[in-house]
Amino acid sequence: MERHTLDNGLRVVLAPDRSAPVIGVAVVYDVGIRSEPEGRTGFAHLFEHLMFQGSENLEKLAHFRHVQGSGGTFNGSTHLDYTDYYETLPANALERALFLEADRMRGPRLTEENLRNQVDVVKEEIRVNVLNRPYGGFPWLKLPPVMFDTFANAHDGYGSFDDLESATVADAAEFFKRYYASGNAVLAVAGDLDLAQTLELVQRHFGDVPARPAPERPSFTEPDLTAERRESYTDPLAPLPAVASAWRVPDPVSDFTAYLPYVVLAEVLTDGDASRLVERLVLRDRTVTTVGGYMGFMGEPWEVRDPTALLLQAHLPPGGDVDKVLRTVEEELDRLATDGLAEGELARTQARMATHLLRDTDAALNRALRMAVLEQQRGTPELLNDLPRLVGEVTEDQIRQAAAALVPQRRATSEVIAGGNQ
């Protein structure tokens, strides 16, 4: 793995792997849902769409045609703390991918026609994924406003129709100028590449992108909860009740050592039939039909900044008792904190987590994406290779202390009341 910084501030991470003639290219910008100003909910996601509508030297849909014509695939996605754009291509199409990403880094085609078209596309996404889907937005849109008080952390990242419709081309141009600077981006390339040749190609295509510094990132920190917060709402499409609870965890960047045990704890509680909450809630008590635990509102344990949380989410059978489920979770957390883990329980969980980490980053694109975010948020893309070992070094005492911290007075809970059977 090699790291470089171009004169315009663009950070570059290269990771050769000659085992297959494939490359993954990822460009990550340090802007996400939390960066949206009030009155512009959903704007980070809307702008992600605009980045596919043509660029400085390419007409609309040209990006699609050039990648797919090379036998590749592409996409982009918006997260709480970053936005990514990426391609998987045959190795001989590397330069094409670099040209395409550099061209839209210089400037996307921000026209009134493109803006109005993509506002309609995003509104349709909201209809399909949230408004007209059972449990739409649960819990990633529903739980943050229960837990947090500031607009940055609590608002709807998909956006309101009013905010989306009021967006202007001038707004988009200002957003691009502020956040889509070369100094605010990371380029990562992984796969079948020659280091010297790839660096020369990167310099050729990205070196003359105008230099703009990264904007100062504000602190989004909020005080932890000191009293339980709980809200419920009726979902007219949901056939069964559901509940999700979240607890704040240590800063995943500045306090990574304290954060790691919570990542492992989420797996101890919910990963597999032998896990604590699956065995108790699903198999023994049958008070829920499914239960899951994960880190971060978008399920990204390694690609998130503070403030973030450990989440537990469950669906209940008809007539299920949410209060009983929450009491059972409290009992199991207290039992884990007091009595510790069974023999082999932690080792089994850590082995499974290490397997998932290795499998998930086996693909060149997944490796490039994770390296890019780790470089952006921590300046340590090599952490990718250390995660299986670090997960394995978490101790039983650390797990017990983490479980003891998940007390009701630090808990935020969102309950779905089923309306689909009425």
Q: Which pLDDT value is given to residue 422?
A: 44
User: Of 55, 252, 44, whose CA–CA distance to 157 is shortest?
Assistant: 44
Place of tokens 């510094």: 213
Are 86 and 74 in contact by the 8 Å Cβ rule? The answer is yes
N-to-C CA span, the chain? 57
Question: All domains of the chain, ordered by start, with CATH?
Answer: 2-206 (3.30.830.10), 229-418 (3.30.830.10)
DSSP code string of 264-300: HHHHHHHSSTTSHHIIIIIIIS---SEEEEEESTTS-
Exposure class string for 132-153: b at 16+ Cβ within 10 A, else e: eebbbbbbbbbbbbbbbeeebb
Residue 37, preceding peptide bond in cis (omega within 30° of 0): no
Q: Residue 218: which of 115, 327, 81 has the closest Cα?
A: 81
* 249 backbone dihedrals φ, ψ, rounded to 5°: -125, 165
Encode the chain (422 residues) as per-residue pLDDT tens digits. 999 999 999 999 999 999 999 999 999 999 999 999 999 999 999 999 999 999 989 999 999 999 999 999 999 999 999 999 999 999 999 999 999 999 999 999 999 999 999 999 999 999 999 999 999 999 999 999 999 999 999 999 999 999 999 999 999 999 999 999 999 999 999 999 999 999 999 999 999 999 998 999 999 999 999 999 999 999 999 999 999 999 999 999 999 999 999 999 999 999 999 999 999 999 999 999 999 999 999 999 999 999 999 999 999 999 999 999 999 999 999 999 999 999 999 999 999 999 999 999 999 999 999 999 999 999 999 999 999 999 999 999 999 999 999 999 999 999 999 996 54
The side-by-side arrangement of strands in the sheet containing 185-191 is 2-5, 11-16, 185-191, 22-29, 83-90, 73-78
Sorted by sequence, the CB contacts under 8 Å of residue 200 that are 6+ apart come out as none
Query: What pLDDT sits at residue 31?
Result: 98
Q: Nearest CA to 164 among 52, 60, 49, 78?
A: 49
- Contact between 270 and 277 (Cβ < 8 Å): yes
Residue 370, CA distances (Å) to 179, 187, 314, 385 in order? 20, 11, 28, 11
**Burial (CB count <10 Å: 0-12, 13-18, 19+), residue 38:** exposed
Beta bridge mates, 249: none
| Nearest Cα residue to 97 out of 114, 72, 78 | 72
Is residue 379 within 8 A of residue 30, CB to CB? The reply is no
**Residues 306, 322 contacting (CB under 8 angstroms):** no
In three-state secondary structure terms, 338 is helix
Distance CA 373, CA 188 (A): 9
Rg (CA), the chain: 22
Query: Backbone phi, then psi, for 275, in 5-degree steps?
Result: -70, 160
Give CA–CA dist 258/251, Å, rounded: 8
